[in-house]
Structure 1
């Protein structure tokens, strides 16, 4: 998968990798070595996080679609009842005379 990073993002990631190796492992990493680490992360690890994010987004969209479908069904049911001269609002049922055309 190809990730398009800005120059600033790329430089910041390289610096963060170098800082991590320095502070956590007491290793000084060259810019070239840090770029290899970044390439490994982008190629091998990042796709897993990307797929998890897509899966999470799919679940949210499915939930929103179900909610919208429920709202649409509520409207359809109310319309159906209204056509028969029955109106239900806030749990109270009322009857209305339907004019004959």
Structure 2
């Protein structure tokens, strides 16, 4: 699966990479160099981050599915016990 990011996000990422390189590496990256670096990150490291995010979502969804029965469970065959309580009251 190819990871794609929207153009506005990509633009912000490129600006952030250039800023990081300038501030922390004393290196002024051209837009082309930052673009190539971003492509590398997305292709090589991106899948690991993506897969972890998918695993986190799956875990969260499974926890929510486990709660569904408690949220929507209805006791069965309650008519007669309810009638007995009414008569006894």
TM-score interval for Structure 1 and Structure 2 normalised by the shorter chain: 0.7 to 0.9
Question: Of the two structures, which has the highest relative contact order with CA contacts closer than 8 Å and spacing of 6 or more?
Answer: 2
CA drift at 1:41: 0.7
Matched, 1:45 2:54: no
Runs in 1 of length 4+ with deviation above 6 angstroms? none
Specify every segment of 5 or more residues in structure 2 that has no aligned partner in the other structure, as ranges: none
| 1:45 aligned counterpart, secondary structure | helix
Structure 1 residues 12 and 71, CA gap change in structure 2 (3 angstroms)? closer
Cα distance in 2 for partners of 1:17, 1:55 equals 27
CA drift at 1:10: 1.9
Q: CA RMSD in A?
A: 1.9
Is the 2:3–2:43 contact (alpha carbons within 8 Å) kept by the matching residues of 1? no
Which has a greater percent of strand?
A: 1
Which has a greater percent of helix?
A: 2
Specify every segment of 5 or more residues in structure 1 that has no aligned partner in the other structure, as ranges: 88-93
Residue-pair matches, total: 86
Q: Who wins on radius of gyration, i.e. which is larger? A: 1
Instruction: Please report the TM-score for the alignment, with normalisation by the length of structure 2.
Output: 0.80
Tell me the residue number matched to 1:25.
25
- After superposition, the C-alpha distances for 1:52-84 in whole angstroms (9 at most, x for unaligned) are 111111111111111112334x41xx222x14x
